[in-house]
Amino acid sequence: MSRINVLPESISNKIAAGEVIERPASVVKELVENSIDSGATRISVNIEQGGVKLISVTDNGSGMDQDDAIMCFEPHATSKIAKDEDIFNILSFGFRGEAIPSIASISRFTLRTRTHDALEGTEVYVQGGRMIKEQPMGCAPGTEIIIRDLFFNTPARKKFLRAQSTEEKHIQESLMMLSLPYPQITFELFMDGRRVFSSAAHDTLTPRLKTYFGSELADNLLPVSFSDSEISIDGFIARHGFSRNSRREQRVFVNGRPVEALAVYNGIRDGYGSLVDKGRFPPVVLFLRVDPQMVDVNVHPAKREVRFRKSRNITNAVCEAIRMVLRNSSAPTVSVDSSLSLKNILDGVRIDYAPREENLTFEFHEGHDEPRENQPVRPVPSFRGFPASSVFARQSQNEAETIKAIPDDTGENTPPVHAESPDQTPSAAVPPPDNVNMIEFTGFGDLQILGFLDRTYILCVAANGMVIIDQHAAHERVMYEKLLKAAEDKSILSQQLLLPVTVELSRSEAAFIEKRRELFESLGFDVEALGDTTVMVNAIPASMHQNNAGTVIKDMLSDLVEDGRVNKDLDLAAVARASCIAAVKAHDRLTFEEARSLLRQMARCELPYSCPHGRPTVINVSYKELEKRFGRR
């Protein structure tokens, strides 16, 4: 007797359902996709008990006539593919014809639909895949699908559902994702009779982003628009400085379909480059349009993952699109909670960028009271970290710096902000009336320096507010770009050492240097291994003023080491970054001239708004915020 049987339809549908319908959110996704495909302009979703009791999706789309209404429960019945080639030209969501029969096989399914020109609609009721009744019925044009008791006949699956709140979160996220590419469609979501959101149709996506993500993030999203012969990219990316600890908020759509695509993620990573710390993910919403031929959406049953035929090109395009935007963007604007002290604000900003923190948002209510671990190293008193604008300004620095006269008697009581008056008139400082949320300052060159705070921050006046620059981070950025550029041009100069320095390192660190010597060389270091754990430094980059080359090398390596090991595949940028951070450890009070020179150099930077590790170099406090703090408005 033969043992191989063709499965009865009811079972095969259940198996398909197992793949497609993981949880109530999948149902919402499948149904809403159908609604979008039907040309609806208004889609309303209603959920009860996390979708287990009820999911209903109502749209005003094309609707179905009586025959289709019955046909759609047949497996692989679809209106979207008619012939073989169509499968490579998929622009609609659904196409396999699996969704409705699958859902119907595991729920009590009611379909009410009417085409716009029909006089009466149809109601179909299916339970566990069996059609119970079908009858004409009066209803609004469009389609309404009501699903009750999902998983009533697959108790195992039902058991694996998470808490109602978790399922609700999934549904909400899923609907948000679906709605992002379609600002022209109104979406509504109700849960247990309560309205979760209602996002009216609009020409642009901006109001929807505000509704979903709040204005804090939405205001700091920068529009992206890019296209070349193969791909067009639109959407929004977070101003640098906003990052999350997971990729969840990197929402990527290919031809309108929310997907996970490694090629795009890589492009995002490369595009932000050094602006974002490793392990941090800036939120983005990106819509890619590519020739359907170039993308395979038929990889995953839930169509979540896609593959590109030329993934390298996709990565490059995304990277370029993001870079273009970031290059022209200004620094993040800080919203100041008027009940906080300025120090907390500065620290708050700092911690917001620290890795490890969970659920970071660009707000200050968390964490700012914690002690700082990463206080910048206090400067060696007579070291001048910043190059003066003229080489000869440094002459006899030894003495000039060391023979500092006794601070005058007011020294002890001097507030940290120096009172030296700037030599420019503050005419640019008049605030425009009712300035907008965002401060945009045109360039670092136009900033008027007020003074210095705690030998760490440069305070400046911009056209509509105060700008605070972290001199340490700024210097790192300046040096980093210089080094990389010089390395690219092969114009790196190194100062050879009269007294070479030997450095003791761990075995893996020494091995790394030995193996990747060319990286160090292209940055201007000349290091040679003397043994398993000893290296000798013969030359350092000319731009480094450190006299102790050994410390620089050590600090660099400690920056490169991860989990006690050095990744052998580190690139030039990583090593350059480490070297800048090592080189700028010591810094000291700047003169106005030095600060101005730094700002001029910042102005020439490609990405001046953050240090190579992704911390911001600049924050803005607008007059509006100051007025808020002083209770003027």
Partner 1 sequence: MKLTVKKEQLQKALQKVTNIIGSKSTLPVLGNVLFEAIGNKLILTTTDLEIRITTTIEAQVQREGKTTIPAKKISMLVSKFIDDEVFLDCNEKHHTDIVCGTANFKMLGLPDDDFPSPVDFAPIKSIKFKEMDFLRILDQISYAVSLDDSRKVLHGILCSIKDNTFTAVATDGKRLALVERVPEEFAGQEGDTIVPLKSAIELKRILEKDGNVTLEFGDKQARFRTEGVEIFTKLIEGNYPNYRQVIPAGFTKSIDIPVKTFIAKLELVSIALTDSSAFIKLKLANNKMEFLAASSNVGEGEDHIDIDYDDEMLDISFNPAFLADPFKHCDADKMMLKLNDSFSPVALESGDGFLYVIMPMRNR
Chain residues binding partner 1 by CB under 8 A are 380, 382-384, 387-392, 394-399, 401-403, 405-409, 411-412, 482, 490-499, 501, 521-522, 524, 539, 541-543, 545-551, 586, 597, 601, 604
The closest alpha carbon to 624, from 482, 436, 376, belongs to: 436
HSE-CB at 577 with a 13 A cutoff on CA atoms is 21
At 380, the amino acid letter reads V
For residue 470, what are its two tokens?
A: 């972290």
DSSP string, 275-291: GS-TT-B--EEEEEEE-
- CA-based nearest residue to 190, from 286, 94, 291, 48: 48
In the complex, least distance from residue 593 CB atom to partner 1, rounded to whole angstroms: 13
**To the nearest whole angstrom, how small is the minimum distance from the Cβ of residue 188 to partner 1?**
57
> DSSP E strands: which ranges in 243-390?
250-254, 257-259, 284-290, 295-296, 307-308
Q: Note the residue count of the chain.
A: 633
Q: CA-CA distance, 67 to 87, in Å (whole number)?
A: 24
Find the shortest distance in angstroms from Cβ 547 to partner 1.
4
Q: Which is nearer to partner 1, 450 or 557 (CB)?
A: 557
Q: Whose Cβ is closer to partner 1: residue 248's or residue 378's?
A: 378
Nearer to partner 1, 19 or 399 (CB): 399
Between 127 and 597, name the residue whose CB sits nearer to partner 1.
597
The number of beta carbons lying within 10 Å of the beta carbon of residue 149 is 16
Nearer to partner 1, 600 or 629 (CB): 600
Q: Which of residues 204 and 389 has its CB atom nearest to partner 1 in the complex?
A: 389
183, 202 in Cβ contact below 8 A?
yes
- Closest to partner 1 by CB, 156 or 499: 499
In angstroms, give the least distance from the CB of 366 to partner 1. 34
Distance in Å, CB of 574 to partner 1, minimum:
19
Determine the straight-line distance between the first and last CA of the chain, rounded to whole angstroms.
87
Q: How far is the CB of 394 from partner 1 (least distance, A)?
A: 5
User: Shortest CA distance to 542 belongs to which of 520, 529, 523, 562?
Assistant: 523
Region class of 457: left (phi > 0), else alpha (psi between -120 and 50), else beta: beta
Which CB, 152 or 383, lies closer to partner 1? Answer: 383
**C-beta of 303 vs 596, nearer to partner 1:** 596
Minimum CB separation of residue 391 from partner 1 in Å reads: 5
Q: Which alpha helices (DSSP H) does 111-195 contain, by range?
A: 155-159, 164-179
CB 515 to partner 1: min, Å:
18
Which residues have a Cβ under 8 Å from the Cβ of 295 and sit 6 or more positions away? 254, 255, 306, 307, 308, 309
What is the 8-class DSSP label of residue 372?
P
Residue 479 Cβ vs partner 1, minimum distance, rounded to whole Å: 9
